Amino acid sequence: MGGIKNVRQILESMCDLFAECAIECVDAMFGKESELKMPWQVVEQLQAQFDRLLTMGSGNEEFSALTCAGIQYDSLDAFVEEENISTEYAADILGEFVNNYCGLLSSKDVFKDNFGQHIQAVPILYSDGQSFLPFIWGVQGYIYIGDHWMYIGYTIRDNITRSNNKF
């Protein structure tokens, strides 16, 4: 960790790790096998148009990050096998998922070597609304259980150089 880095290049080298952690997290939390139907990729702005979108900030002195989990109304049932999940419970499940996902990422040496240990902030759930996330390079992708999917995005920038800002 330390020094000026091209965060976008680091994220590109870690795309598979972000995807693997998502699959590991679904298996650990819900006891279900999920799959990728397409590779995860680095994008200049994370997506934000979902029925439910949970975001959680994290970071340390050097980096600020944002983790997002997005899902459609009927998809969460496939992950947790419960019906009629309330908005409050959906927020709880997505918040716990993001919390655990960030914990898993932080346990990987390659993540720690590049970004250090992060402290997590309070998660926020957006429901039924349109959200706009900042133009900062990030990794995003989908994991599937059958035809149901969950979106996960992770964006991070260097606090000092802000070298990962698109603008």
Partner 1 sequence: MSKSVIIVDDSIFAMRTLTDFFTEVMEFEVVATGENGTEAVELYEKYKPDLLVLDLIMPVMDGIEALEAIKKCHPDASVIVVTAMRDSEELQKSIELGASGYIEKPLRFNKPEYKELFKKRINDALK
Contact 32, 139 (CB under 8 A): no
- Give contact residues for partner 1 (rule: CB under 8 A): 25, 28-29, 31, 80, 89, 92-93, 95-96, 99-100, 102-104, 106-107, 112, 117-120, 122
47 vs 120, beta carbon nearer partner 1: 120
47 vs 148, beta carbon nearer partner 1: 148
- Token reading at 103: 């914990």
For the CB of residue 143, give the shortest distance to partner 1 in the complex, in Å. Answer: 14
8 vs 52, beta carbon nearer partner 1: 52
For the CB of residue 69, give the shortest distance to partner 1 in the complex, in Å. Answer: 13
For the CB of residue 25, give the shortest distance to partner 1 in the complex, in Å. Answer: 6
**Residues contacting 83, CB < 8 A, separation 6+:** 77
- Determine the Cα–Cα distance for residues 79 and 39; give it in Å rounded to an integer: 20
Q: Could you give phi then psi for residue 110, rounded to 5 degrees?
A: -65, -35
41 vs 107, beta carbon nearer partner 1: 107
For the CB of residue 96, give the shortest distance to partner 1 in the complex, in Å. Answer: 5
- Token reading at 135: 């133009």
Pseudo-torsion of CA 107, 41, 50, 166, nearest 10°?
A: 100
